[in-house]
A and B are shown apart, each in its own frame.
Chain A
Amino acid sequence: MAQFPPPDFVQTDSAIVGIEVYMPAPEPDIAPQGVVDFKCPQCGATTAYSVADGGICCEHCGYYESPTREVVGKGAQEFEFKVETLERAAVGWGAQRKELVCENCQAHTSIPVEMLTYTCPFCGSNKVIQRDAAQDVLRPRFLIPFQVTLEGCQVVARQWLGSSWMVPKDLQRLAHVTDFVPIYLPFWTFDAVTTADWRAQVAHTVTERYRSGGEWKTRTRTVWRWESGNVRRLFDDLLIAGTERLSRVLIDRLIHFDLTHLTPYDPNYLAGIRAQAYDVSLEPAWAEARDAMREDTRRACRAQASNSRMRNFTMNLDFAEETWRYVLLPVYVGLFTYANQTFQVMVNGQTAAIAGQRPVDWTKVWLAIGGLLAPGVILGIIGLVTAILGIGVIIGVIGLVLFVIGAIIAFFIYQKAEGMDDV
């Protein structure tokens, strides 16, 4: 013990008189409770996070402050499912609203508890509200900063509007895209290892010869044989949305974030950007993740069998090394109107992946489906005539094949068109 107390140790409570106890100094509280007001230290104007510059900027005097946090990526701290954490997470944020008094203009405002940021409607000042979570780990600890600018987002949206032949021809020209709103959405990430033992009766086809009516014949029959195996699956950072306030269909389409860019939470990243706390608490989100993990494991088990036809399939599955994180991820939310209808669009603020509703030009879709089915139908009719006339059945067979292929493609086109305005 060259040095006492060791470097970075601080004294803590001792339960026994005569014994002093020192522990490693806790990390400085990243998010102290309260409201962080963003004002320019040079001119006093309101500052906000600039995606293009990657830091806090003042539009008035050009003041710039770069973020102090370094990217930790997938090394971002993960937490275990402690009994205590689960119990406290279940409490949620409650239903009350938070009363805020703007330090700038003294205006009183009441805001919902799930909002983590706020811009005063009277003076325009930006605030980051750091909630008193039920447990420290339930505060947002990591986020991915916005990497796609608002302008970039508009370009992506315009391209996307004209990227499908199923949408009306004039959609790109006539659609009125409102401003996209950057928002940090709450997500849970889950890690786990699943180990499963499975057992099933798998179908094996056996060909056998038998004698009937004085001659040898061949028949096939199914023999059910017991097979078993085990599977180990590793799940790393399975993302589950922590909110139900936005379309889950759209969120799931753009959920592919690159978590190697995770950065420790810093209120600076949230300045002037909306941010929402979770409204789907840890346990239901974990139940959803578990559901996905076990189905994946079940598929892996079934894939091990020598044949996909099986019966009496059973498996025992153990979860291990389960951990979670609560993160904020960047998303742009926008709307566009077309033919007096409003459609939702979301853009991944990191990768610029886009998902949204689009109007469908059903005339085009039905024409395309008709065009796909027509060759098969026509050849089928000709084939029927040639068959009746005794010329041959080959045309009919080709017609049938073309009809089946056309019907399959048409089905997928219809499905896609049907899903284009899903929310």
Chain B
Amino acid sequence: MSEHVLPQTELEAWGTDVQVVVCETCDWRFVLPAETSLPRCPHCFGTELELLSGEVSELPYVAPPEQAVPFAVSEAQLTGGIETFAKGIPLPPKDLNPAALRARLQAIYLPRWWVDAEVAALWQAEVGFDYEVVSHQERYSDTVGGWQARKVHEGRVRWEPRAGRLRRTYENVMAPALEAEKALRAQFGDYDVTRARPYHVDMVRRAPVRLPDRVPAVAWADAEMALRRRAGDECRQAAKGDHIREYRWQPAYPKRNWTLLLLPAYTTYYLDDEQRPQPVLIHGQTGRVIGMRKASLKRAQRIALILGLMALIIFVLSSISLLAVAVAPPLLVLGGIGLLVGMVLGLSALAPLIVVWRFNRPRRRPQER
């Protein structure tokens, strides 16, 4: 494949002047319209993006994508998703609120490899054919006085060996273009790529386009697996079968062509206790929100401290009252009650800490909301 090194003129094919930028913190690379001022990294929100000038020709792919799945989440859906995400957190960080999340919302496109390949292969498999057999279930009862029979139809599969030769061109076979895609897809769900539309310059104007971090040579293993699945299914259809198993093939790929499919997403973030940005990702087609939902330990500590101090004061005052019983016996009741209240308050000071610790403990990985 000669597509590893692309001329910088590929940038011109975007339909507008574009610039390639990089985040020095997370190393994510984006394509933006040239006139756009450099924003904070829409991935880690750590630093501002920097222009990547000299090394553009060394990037695996900077040509415009072939197609993109359009953004399909309404404003109401976005707002609802964000509100649900921010809801239900005990003592959330001050910054974790719908308004802040909504204000920082930024659209981006995530890339996925789209491979067209011509395949020539010999194949062998077991093809399954569905058929129905008639069986019987019967019931005997002395009281009814005989047998009652019921005919049942059971589905079965007949497996037969098949072999063949294949010469087909497969278009738009997908392979991850990001190292994080598999993990992301597991949390995020996949996209309905049938809704993809051909690339238009407005797409890059609307949102920065993330560039692949997996080169085609690495992504080929995934593409080949997808090709194998698709070829296997076509072989099943060719053999007029209903199922296929033990599919083996010896493929050759006379032609391969790599392009990109863009997938819409929104990113935003909130600042945690340590003022570190915690990224939140929103599916651009379904509105599903993922991100780390953390309760604020600092707020919990503050409340615990206040409650603890109050308890201490009450405890001290109660102790003094008890010491003064000899002088004024009615202080015994007041001192006793105060001692009790102080103890209860002291113990309840632990509650915010426990609640926050428990909430944060099982939510170490990003949660979907």
Q: Which of B134, B160, B162, B164 contacts A81 (CB 8 A)?
A: B134
Of A9, A19, A24, A316, chain B has the most CB atoms within 10 Å of the CB of: A19
Tell me if B137 and A316 are in contact (CB < 8 A). yes
Tell me if B132 and A82 are in contact (CB < 8 A). yes
> Assuming the A-B contacts A6-B163, A19-B168, are A314 and B140 also in contact, with contact meaning beta carbons closer than 8 angstroms in the complex?
yes
Tell me if A290 and B136 are in contact (CB < 8 A). yes
Residue of B nearest to A4 (CB): B122
Complex Cα spacing A322 to B133, Å: 9
Q: Which of B122, B135, B142, B168 contacts A1 (CB 8 A)?
A: B122
Query: For residue B165, which residues in chain A have a CB less than 8 angstroms away from its CB?
Result: 4, 19-20
Q: Which of B135, B147, B234 contacts A294 (CB 8 A)?
A: B147
Residue of A nearest to B249 (CB): A1
Query: For residue B124, which residues in chain A have a CB less than 8 angstroms away from its CB?
Result: 1, 6
Nearest first, the 7 closest Cβ-Cβ pairs linking A and B are: A19-B238, A16-B238, A14-B238, A20-B165, A18-B168, A314-B141, A313-B142
Is B248 an interface position by the 8 A CB rule?
yes
Chain B, residues 247-260, CB within 8 Å of chain A (1/0): the string is 01010000000000
Q: Which of B134, B138, B141, B240 contacts A313 (CB 8 A)?
A: B141
> Assuming the A-B contacts A15-B238, A83-B153, A313-B142, are A22 and B164 also in contact, with contact meaning beta carbons closer than 8 angstroms in the complex?
yes
Residue of A nearest to B153 (CB): A83
Interface residues on A, range: 35 or more
Is B166 an interface position by the 8 A CB rule?
yes
Tell me if A20 and B164 are in contact (CB < 8 A). yes
Is A229 an interface position by the 8 A CB rule?
no
Is A137 an interface position by the 8 A CB rule?
no
Query: For residue B131, which residues in chain A have a CB less than 8 angstroms away from its CB?
Result: 82-84
B68 shortest CB reach to chain A, Å: 30
Is B239 an interface position by the 8 A CB rule?
yes
Query: For residue A131, which residues in chain B have a CB less than 8 angstroms away from its CB?
Result: none
Complex Cα spacing A320 to B140, Å: 17
Query: For residue B134, which residues in chain A have a CB less than 8 angstroms away from its CB?
Result: 81-83, 86
B232 shortest CB reach to chain A, Å: 11
Tell me if A81 and B163 are in contact (CB < 8 A). no
Interface of B is mostly: strand
Tell me if B238 and A319 are in contact (CB < 8 A). no
Chain B residues 224 to 274 lying within 8 A of chain A, measured CB to CB, are: 234-235, 237-240, 248, 250
Is A312 an interface position by the 8 A CB rule?
yes
A11 shortest CB reach to chain B, Å: 9
Complex Cα spacing A15 to B248, Å: 20
Tell me if B139 and A316 are in contact (CB < 8 A). yes
Chain B, residues 181-200, CB within 8 Å of chain A (1/0): the string is 00000000000000000000
A301 shortest CB reach to chain B, Å: 9
Is A170 an interface position by the 8 A CB rule?
no
Tell me if A298 and B140 are in contact (CB < 8 A). yes
B360 shortest CB reach to chain A, Å: 54
Chain A residues 121 to 180 lying within 8 A of chain B, measured CB to CB, are: none
Chain B residues 194 to 235 lying within 8 A of chain A, measured CB to CB, are: 234-235
Chain B residues 122 to 181 lying within 8 A of chain A, measured CB to CB, are: 122, 124, 131-143, 147, 149, 153, 156, 160-168
Of B136, B137, B168, chain A has the most CB atoms within 10 Å of the CB of: B136
Query: For residue B137, which residues in chain A have a CB less than 8 angstroms away from its CB?
Result: 316-319
Tell me if A5 and B163 are in contact (CB < 8 A). yes
Tell me if A312 and B164 are in contact (CB < 8 A). no
Chain B residues 90 to 147 lying within 8 A of chain A, measured CB to CB, are: 122, 124, 131-143, 147
Residue of A nearest to B132 (CB): A83
Of A20, A83, A312, chain B has the most CB atoms within 10 Å of the CB of: A20
Query: For residue A1, which residues in chain B have a CB less than 8 angstroms away from its CB?
Result: 122, 124, 163, 248, 250
Residue of B nearest to A11 (CB): B164
Tell me if A21 and B238 are in contact (CB < 8 A). yes
Is A13 an interface position by the 8 A CB rule?
yes
Tell me if B240 and A15 are in contact (CB < 8 A). yes
Tell me if A19 and B235 are in contact (CB < 8 A). yes
Chain A residues 298 to 357 lying within 8 A of chain B, measured CB to CB, are: 298, 311-320, 322
> Assuming the A-B contacts A16-B234, A81-B133, are A294 and B142 also in contact, with contact meaning beta carbons closer than 8 angstroms in the complex?
no
Residue of B nearest to A79 (CB): B133
Is A421 an interface position by the 8 A CB rule?
no
Tell me if B139 and A314 are in contact (CB < 8 A). yes
Of B138, B165, B237, chain A has the most CB atoms within 10 Å of the CB of: B138
User: A16-B238, A319-B137 provided; 20 other pairs, C-beta below 8 A?
Assistant: A6-B161, A15-B239, A19-B235, A20-B166, A21-B163, A22-B164, A23-B160, A23-B161, A24-B160, A80-B156, A81-B133, A81-B134, A84-B131, A200-B142, A313-B142, A315-B140, A317-B137, A319-B138, A322-B135, A322-B136
